[in-house]
Amino acid sequence: MSRSRDRTRRHPAYLRRPEEFYTLWIAATSTYGVGDIVSTIAFLAYVPAVEEANPVVALALDSFGLAGLVGLKIAVYLVMLWISVLGARDGDGLLYYFPPVLLTLVGLYLTGSNVRLMWIATG
- The model carries a pTM of 0.86
One-letter amino acid identity for 96? Y
pLDDT in tens, 71-120: 999 999 999 999 999 999 999 999 999 999 999 999 999 999 999 999 99
pLDDT in tens, 27-86: 999 999 999 999 999 988 888 888 888 999 999 999 999 999 999 999 999 999 999 999
- Exposed (0-12), middle (13-18) or buried (19+): which is 5, by Cβ within 10 Å? exposed
Distance (Å, rounded) from C-alpha 87 to C-alpha 92?
5
Give backbone dihedrals phi and psi of 8, rounded to 5 degrees, phi first. -65, -35
Rg (CA), the chain: 18
- Exposed (0-12), middle (13-18) or buried (19+): which is 103, by Cβ within 10 Å? buried
